[in-house]
Amino acid sequence: MSIPLPVATPTYLDPVAPLSARIADLTGRLTLEEKINLLGHENGPIERLGIPAYNWWSEACHGVGRNGRATVFPQVIAQAATWNRDLIQRIATAVSDEARAKHHAAERAGFFGQQYQGLTFWTPNVNIFRDPRWGRGQETFGEDPFLTGELGLATVRGLQGDDARHMKVAACAKHFAVHSGPEHERHAFDAQPTPKDLHETYLPAFEKLVRGGVEAVMGAYNRVLGEPACASQFLLGEILRNRWGFRGHVVSDCGAIDDFHRHHKVTADSAASAALAVRNGCDLNCGCTYNDLILAVRAGQITEAEIDTALGRLLATRFKLGMFDPAETVRWTKTPESVIDSASHRALARRAAAESFVLLKNANYLLPLPAAPRSMLVVGPTAANVGAMLGNYYGVSARIVTFMEGLVARAPEGCRVMYRPGCPLSQEGAPGVNYTFGDAAMAEVVVAVLGLDPTLEGEEGDTVASPVGGDRVRIELPENQRAFLKELRQNSKKLILVLTGGSAIAIPEEHDLADAVIYAWYAGCEGGAALADVLFGDLAPSGRLPVTVPRRTEDLPAFNDYAMHGRTYKFAAVEPLYPFGFGLSYAKIAYKSLALSKSAVADGESLEISAIVQNGSDLRAQETIQCYLIPPASADAPRAILVDFAKTDLAPHTSLEVTFQLTPDAFRQVDAHGERVWQPGAYQLVVGPASPGPRAQALGAPAPLVAALQLV
């Protein structure tokens, strides 16, 4: 009688084997066709090896997206307005909790390979929001590379987790690079940034995330300096892998490889496009173009060894996620389904929304409202608009608290609360009598919720009312809303304007008409409750603008011009309506003193900056202290550069010392060749509540502190 020999565990299934050995073992067991299958975002099962189907495409822009029930956190641009690194990481941690719970619930149900149910999430978007007309700017952290990098890295850390053995989920920095509209041109245009703009504005946030450990990078649709971004030797080879040392995988934007031959006209057909992409460093194809790699191999356009290189990077990600390990050895498989849209996550969403609201005006201290107003009218096309809470790339919560619902729930009995839509979102209203104005005349206070929703701005293919593929032509309010607000003002005793949207809205006239103005963004599933918290004074507003708000569309350069001249707080030549970093508080905040550890800094030296901030009111508040460097004036120098920031809690009638530690790199400027260089001269350091300039103080912000600094 023969005794069966024990079956050895394959190396790729051995959880303690080195990663390189596991990758090599599995790669060696695969046929060419199976390898190519694993290079597309839809992986069919490989049953002979026990590998189930897997789909790489999942979304987590501001909550697990497009996969049923999930906590809907405020849109990314709203999260940016919190200027709160810790809060952003807590949000991303909650999102990854829900992602793990949902993924493993799908596995237990036998669902494998379904889109949006995986562990590889194509977020965060760290493109620079250089022009407010871009519909997808709402997915970004705003216009500043430093702020974008800091908050993007906090997102990556929350998503990927802190486990030494396995990643929680894989994050992805997108869209690499020089990509921010116009949407309808994105498949064909060639961005031609100067070396200075490229290295000063468009690349720093990506570099920070890559050096911080982001697992994936997504290429953009467009060309950059003549090369398709998803097959750019310069971007993917020289910059990403050689200069920054990236060791993760690169994924194409969806359908971007087809653009090579269909729109960019740099290849003859899909086989040539697939070969070019893989050969130049794009490992994963969102789409099906890589199916033609089999033809490319036969034609000698690419080798199997080059395919193995791309496959190895993708397998590394799957091994890091624990997909080939016993479930009991992976910490995150135990995440309970009870975390999904849980009370604690909704409370976090509510807090995040409240911290994101930016108070832009508060004439005669109208806000906060009294605890028991006699009557209130809530009015406007986005007051009860669910879409205006969601933005784009959203999940679905079982309960979306609109602004109307939140205010009605908060108002005490005895307060007469009424609601009317007031006017359409964008088209002209019907002629005749509008009963809204009579209701306004009877109300002690009118809360008008106007602005945008995702039908007016978003991604190409998502919006239904944008005339240009998701972007805006003008940055003012729709004309019918402007006319409505003018008449509403004539019938209102006290008028609070609440703006919804994901981008800058130019409202110079509307600012003057309203008694108070709040930008509330796309505020998520608890946005209405959060607005009530702020309006009634349960929380003081602490949001700060992550974008500059111009006075009018005509103040902007051409949308498809990627030069930074005339854009953002760094290079704008026209004084804005609201400056980058601006936002008011209910509390009386003052900046009291500024001290530098030295008055002259040599190349290679660091600098410590200390500032005293005082809360002179009876209210608890949060203050975002911003530190800017102002270089010597020259034709191409930035007007100011954000070099650090801190969000702090201030108890009533207390002072707090805030310290910034600036490394030598904070002082280096980008020259015309794109190099970071030490430029001696007379600089200024500004610590204050907004980007430097007179407008913030004209709007009521406290005065900043200024110190001279010599670079030697």
Mind telling me the catalytic residues?
253
* Residue 376: other Cβ atoms inside 10 A: 24
- Residue 677, beta-bridge partner list: 669
164: CB partners within 8 A, 6+ apart? none
Number of H helices and number of E strands within the chain?
20, 24
Q: Report CA dihedral (659, 663, 664, 666) to the nearest 10 degrees.
A: -80
Cα(597)–Cα(707) distance, integer angstroms: 12
Cα(314)–Cα(335) distance, integer angstroms: 24
At which residue do the structure tokens 């970093």 appear? 581
> Helix, strand, coil: what percent of the chain each, to 5?
35, 20, 45
Question: 73 vs 79, 392, 404, 525, CA distance in Å?
Answer: 9, 11, 18, 6
Question: 314 vs 35, 85, 176, 331, 448, CA distance in Å?
Answer: 11, 30, 18, 21, 50
Show the tokens assigned to 571: 């290079």
Query: Strand 216-219 and strand 172-176: pairing?
Result: parallel
Q: Which H helix or E strand runs over 216?
A: strand 216-219
Closest CA to 580 of 630, 529, 544: 544
Closest CA to 447 of 415, 474, 472, 479: 415
What is the separation of C-alpha 303 from the centre of its chain, rounded to a whole number of angstroms? 38
Show the tokens assigned to 371: 């605890």
R_g of the chain, CA atoms, integer Å: 26
> What is the sign, positive or negative, of the torsion defined by CA atoms of 224, 226, 232, 236?
negative
Show the tokens assigned to 540: 């003081």
36: CB partners within 8 A, 6+ apart? 290, 291, 293, 294, 307
Are the C-beta atoms of 531 and 537 separated by less than 8 Å?
A: no
Show the tokens assigned to 39: 């290079």
* Residue 16: other Cβ atoms inside 10 A: 7
HSE (CB half, 13 Å, CA atoms) of 194?
14
Are the C-beta atoms of 39 and 285 separated by less than 8 Å?
A: yes
Catalogue the E-assigned strands of 380-480: 416-420, 445-451
Amino acid letter, 626: Q
3-class SS at 23?
A: helix
Query: Strand 216-219 and strand 249-251: pairing?
Result: parallel
Closest CA to 459 of 66, 188, 136: 136
**Furthest C-alpha separation in the chain:** 100
* Residue 243: other Cβ atoms inside 10 A: 12
